[in-house]
Structure 1
Amino acid sequence: MLLKSEIDLLRAVPLFAGIEPSRLKLIAYTAETVMYRQGQVLCRQGEQGDAAFVLMEGEADVSIAAETGDFVVASLKTGDVVGEIAILCDVPRTATVTAKTPVSALRVRKEAFLQLVRQFPEVAAEVMRGLAERLSHTNAELVRARNLAAGQGGGR
């Protein structure tokens, strides 16, 4: 019964929307359902990435460490995917993800995620779309931060 609900939840996630139910069953079967309490860390910046997470329920904050403390760069909600950068680029985690509310997520291991991207071009396209949106948002935030710094720095 739990597998069916996971399949239904996966079907509602844009990343998996184009995949037929039999393939979704395989994803749900190989993924691990994980639960996090409010304030608990899903993954930490700098750690080796061994899985991506699909938020099935709840909200989480994505933050990066700065000299002045952690800086929240994004908020995640049900259906969002996080952790794929470390897997796709084989680099340490680029940010820390912390549950803002209780979170239920599917943890998709690296090899299963990579196989999914290889087998389904629509998944690869959706991953690229999500990454492009995040990059665009980050660029806008950098411009905003630069403008604020220039305004506060005086007229030098």
Structure 2
Amino acid sequence: MKVEQLVEAIAKLDAKDALQCRLTVDEWKSLAPYLSVRFLRPGDPLMEEGDCEREFFILADGELEVSVAGNVIATLMPGTVVGEGTFFSGQPRSATVTPSTPGVAWSLHWDKFDAMSDKQPKLAIHLVKGLAAVLAVRMREALLVGHFA
């Protein structure tokens, strides 16, 4: 799996909550050693409601279903960020995310983010700004539809 596929997926996603940090391929290559690649199989949860693992994912290929209390509430396409809330807060995940097709996701764990912040501070700031924008859009949308508690 090459980082170019991830960059292409991020650039192509046309969604309100798309990741807005437009790092170059070379900048993503600098961040790649801190990221992990996960090959997704349909039905194997990427994350489960209630878990507290401080890790977020960017879907590079495939589709993900988001469910709350067993009800599917969204389908996510390549380029989408997922898990950012728990990544920053350490609070339990609010949803289960399961691949509906084979795919690939790149992840960043909190411990690796700390190391990345020390070695690549400018890139870490760009990434955090992009993730903050995702959180802001999702929080606003949740408030508008009444899913914010």
Normalising by the smaller structure, the TM-score range is 0.7 to 0.9
Helix, strand or coil: the match of 1:97?
Answer: strand
CA contact (8 A) 1:51 1:109 kept: yes
Aligned partner letter, 2:87: I
Out of 43, 46, 63, the residue aligned to residue 42 of structure 1 is 46
Which residue number in structure 1 is paired with residue 16 of structure 2?
A: none
Aligned partner letter, 1:54: I
Helix, strand or coil: the match of 2:46?
Answer: strand
Bigger share in helix? 1
- In the TM superposition, what is the alpha-carbon distance from 1:20 to its structure 2 partner? 4.2
Written as runs of structure 1 = structure 2, the 5 A alignment for 1:1-156 is 2=1, 5-6=2-3, 8-12=4-8, 13=10, 15=19, 17-65=21-69, 70-113=70-113, 115=116, 119-120=122-123, 121-142=125-146
1:15-68: CA deviation from partner (whole Å, max 9, x where unpaired)? 475334443113222222111211220000111223211101011111222xxx
- In the TM superposition, what is the alpha-carbon distance from 1:126 to its structure 2 partner? 1.6
- Where does the alignment leave 5 or more consecutive residues of structure 2 unmatched? 12-18
Q: Distance in 1 between matches of 2:121 and 2:84?
A: 14
Q: Distance in 2 between matches of 1:125 and 1:133?
A: 13
CA contact (8 A) 1:46 1:94 kept: yes
Q: Distance in 2 between matches of 1:139 and 1:73?
A: 16
Aligned partner letter, 2:113: F
1:95-124: CA deviation from partner (whole Å, max 9, x where unpaired)? 111112112111222223354596443322
Q: Distance in 2 between matches of 1:18 and 1:61?
A: 25
Q: Distance in 2 between matches of 1:10 and 1:16?
A: 14
Helix, strand or coil: the match of 1:35?
Answer: strand
Q: Distance in 2 between matches of 1:81 and 1:25?
A: 18
CA contact (8 A) 1:10 1:17 kept: no
The size of the alignment, in residue pairs, is: 135
- Where does the alignment leave 5 or more consecutive residues of structure 1 unmatched? 144-156
Q: TM-score, normalised by structure 2?
A: 0.75
Larger radius of gyration: 1
